[in-house]
Amino acid sequence: MAKFDPAVAHVSVFDAFLRARAKSGGKTKIVEDHDRNPLSYDEILRAAFALGGKIKGMTKPGEAVGVLLPTGVGATVVFFALQAIGRRPAMLNFTAGAANLKGAIAAAGVKKVLTADKFLDQANLHDLAGELATVADVVKLETVRTSLSIFDKLGAVVKAAFPTAFRAPVNPNDPAVILFTSGSFGVPRGVALSHVNLVSNVEQAAAHIDFDPEWVFFNPLPMFHCFGLTGGCLLPILRGHKAFLYPSPLHFKEIPKLVQETGANVLFATDTFAQQYARASKSGELRGLKFAVLGAERVREETRQTYMSKFGVMLLEGYGATEASPVIAVNQPGANRPGTVGRILPGIEVRLESVPGIDEGMKLVVRGPNVMLGYLDPNAPGGIAPPADGWHDTGDIVAIDADGYVAIKGRVKRFAKVGGEMVSLAAVESFAQAVWPMNTHAAVSVADNRKGERVVLFTDHKEASTADLLAFCQKQGAPEIAVPKKIVVVAEIPVLGTGKTDYVAIQRLAEHEVAKAEAA
């Protein structure tokens, strides 16, 4: 297994791509999507220079350019086209709604948004594009491609033959991409990641896990999310592993079949999506997987057991943050400890801070070459507020054992103060999961005049009752204060486009339920 060398990561993303091309061979087919037309490094390079030449004429050096596209070959080519000409992709979450997207465009200083008519048709997003057109110029890729002349195409061939002479020189410490946090607990924040941040995280992962040359990656996660961009796209391409990119993680029946058809043996997913793939797989299509890497939310024991018993597949849980490019820790083949998110990646410094009222675990603060340049300043478009001394406060409460394995106990924001006692909402969810293991649950807190706050549990289990949950907690010796007095049954738990639980939506539901009860 290679050691992490920060000097190797001190290059631009585009130069890291050229390095992978030189090592793997330009004719190596490296990326494919649902159109089933795989592209080689050389083909990506030529397409990037051809497209980049057109985008260059409508933008300025260093400008942030919005990308409103699904995961796939098209988004990958656009990403590298912008890198080739020294522009900064601002990856826009098309599931976030017009208001959040307009805020993102303003914060990043985006003047042009690149999208595709085909995508807008398939996703029924023409109205959204119309909304965005009121604050930025929406450019359709079909229009750009039809404007390519024979001279543009010949020029791209020449540039691809001498890429270092024609690619825009950039400082590796400058921003390479603008991403936005998932918004699980509030308004999404713009995050500026440098070239060094992204390439470092790829190299850190490669130093943490001994990559088999035969691994083929399947990524259905959105490229507007850091897990989907860095883990599912850049990691395989920059390390010479073929990546199959799929435009939506929600196509539960299609994905298991494609995993089998493409010969993919490593799957990226979240627990929520992985459960759905397992349910939809009727003929053991996932048996060809060597393992699946799950992140963005806690992996349930039921999911692990399902994959092992049904497919013989091991699940590796990982942990990260957009601000860390994103991987901070991940379990490893041969060193997988369920219930943890694995060990910290090489090159990352860790600081643990106590939090008043929270006894189990400490707050995790990290620093390293993968930690962001900073958050976008919403009051100064294009401005970046760097983390103090390079340290990022994750807001997560963790415990690290003697072997270095990290267990996530919850988020600082996800503790309720009930009658003066701190109650972990993550623990409440885990109690519910133990009682009703085949269902999904989410706990939030609301204001309470007597106790300060109270916990409300949402579940999709139709027969859920407080009495059953209380009986389990008493048997386990869990404090009664951690048992929610109100349980709300819903048809399904809201999730974001990234697969994370949408706690903002659930909080609104909880406040509505309380207001309704008080009015009764």
* pLDDT per position as a tens digit, 100-136: 899 899 999 999 999 999 999 999 999 999 999 999 9
Structure tokens at 341: 């998110």
CA dist 115 and 113 (Å) reads 6
Specify whether the CB–CB gap between 345 and 319 falls below 8 A.
no
How far does Cα 422 stand from its chain's mean position?
Answer: 29
pLDDT at 50: 96
CA dist 42 and 469 (Å) reads 58
pLDDT band at 41 (very low <50, low <70, confident <90, very high): very high
Is residue 408 domain-resident?
no
Domain boundary among 346, 368, 400: 400
For residue 85, give the nearest of 67, 110, 59 by alpha carbon.
59
Is residue 7 domain-resident?
no
Do 196 and 344 fall into the same domain? yes
- Which of helix, strand or coil describes residue 233? helix
Do 307 and 436 fall into the same domain? no
Q: What is the pTM of this model?
A: 0.86
Do 502 and 355 fall into the same domain? no
Do 155 and 115 fall into the same domain? yes
Torsions phi, psi of 445, nearest 5?
A: -120, 150
Do 28 and 158 fall into the same domain? yes
pLDDT at 1: 60
CA distances from 68 to 79, 123, 186, 216, 481 (A): 11, 11, 22, 26, 45
What's the CATH code of the domain at 194?
Answer: 3.40.50.12780
Is residue 221 exposed (0-12), middle (13-18) or buried (19+ Cβ within 10 Å)? buried
Question: pLDDT per residue over 224-240, tens digit each?
Answer: 999 999 999 999 999 99
CA distances from 496 to 104, 181, 189, 245, 360 (A): 17, 11, 15, 19, 29
Instruction: Answer whether the bond into residue 378 is a cis peptide, omega within 30°.
Output: no
Do 57 and 112 fall into the same domain? yes
Per-residue pLDDT for 183 more than 60? no
Per-residue pLDDT for 461 more than 80? yes
pLDDT at 247: 95
Is residue 1 domain-resident?
no
pLDDT band at 422 (very low <50, low <70, confident <90, very high): low
Is residue 3 domain-resident?
no
Per-residue pLDDT for 448 more than 80? no
- Which of helix, strand or coil describes residue 252? coil
CA dist 231 and 268 (Å) reads 8
pLDDT at 519: 66
Per-residue pLDDT for 32 more than 80? yes
Domain boundary among 349, 371, 400: 400
Mean pLDDT, range 19-29, rounded to an integer: 97
Mention every residue, 6+ apart, whose C-beta is less than 8 A from residue 105. 66, 90, 92, 113, 132, 135, 136
pLDDT band at 74 (very low <50, low <70, confident <90, very high): very high
Per-residue pLDDT for 254 more than 90? yes
pLDDT band at 424 (very low <50, low <70, confident <90, very high): confident
What's the CATH code of the domain at 499?
Answer: 3.30.300.30
Domain boundary among 373, 400, 427: 400
Mean pLDDT, range 42-65, rounded to an integer: 96
Do 384 and 444 fall into the same domain? no
Query: What element of type H or E holds 453?
Result: strand 452-459
What mean pLDDT is reported for the chain? 90
pLDDT at 26: 96
Query: What element of type H or E holds 421?
Result: strand 421-424
- Which of helix, strand or coil describes residue 508? helix
Per-residue pLDDT for 510 more than 60? yes
Per-residue pLDDT for 186 more than 60? no
- Which of helix, strand or coil describes residue 392? strand
Specify whether the CB–CB gap between 251 and 236 falls below 8 A.
no
Mean pLDDT, range 169-192, rounded to an integer: 83
What residues does 138 pair with on adjacent strands? 113
Query: What element of type H or E holds 426?
Result: helix 425-435
pLDDT at 432: 83
Mean pLDDT, range 63-86, rounded to an integer: 97
pLDDT at 449: 66
pLDDT band at 179 (very low <50, low <70, confident <90, very high): very high
The answer to which of 295-299, 440-444, 478-482 has the lowest mean pLDDT is: 478-482
Per-residue pLDDT for 370 more than 60? yes
What are the strands, taking DSSP E only, across 153-265? 175-180, 190-194, 217-219, 243-245
pLDDT at 517: 66
pLDDT at 209: 94
Do 364 and 424 fall into the same domain? no
Is residue 411 domain-resident?
no
pLDDT at 89: 97
**Domain count of the chain?**
2
Q: Angle at Cα 461 formed by Cα 397 and Cα 482, nearest 5°?
A: 40
Residues of the domain holding 326: 13-400
Do 349 and 437 fall into the same domain? no
Is residue 84 domain-resident?
yes
pLDDT band at 200 (very low <50, low <70, confident <90, very high): very high
Per-residue pLDDT for 71 more than 80? yes
pLDDT at 452: 67
What are the strands, taking DSSP E only, across 321-386? 327-330, 343-344, 349-355, 358-367, 374-376, 384-385
CA dist 448 and 49 (Å) reads 59
Of residues 476 and 388, the one with the higher pLDDT is 388
Of residues 169 and 500, the one with the higher pLDDT is 169
Do 424 and 367 fall into the same domain? no
Question: pLDDT per residue over 132-154, tens digit each?
Answer: 999 999 999 999 999 999 998 99
Per-residue pLDDT for 245 more than 70? yes
Question: pLDDT per residue over 271-284, tens digit each?
Answer: 989 999 999 998 88
Specify whether the CB–CB gap between 236 and 212 falls below 8 A.
no
Helices then strands, counting H and E runs in the chain, come out as: 18, 26
pLDDT band at 420 (very low <50, low <70, confident <90, very high): low
Is residue 323 domain-resident?
yes
Do 281 and 395 fall into the same domain? yes
Is residue 8 domain-resident?
no
Do 298 and 172 fall into the same domain? yes
- % residues pLDDT > 70 (the chain): 93
Per-residue pLDDT for 73 more than 60? yes
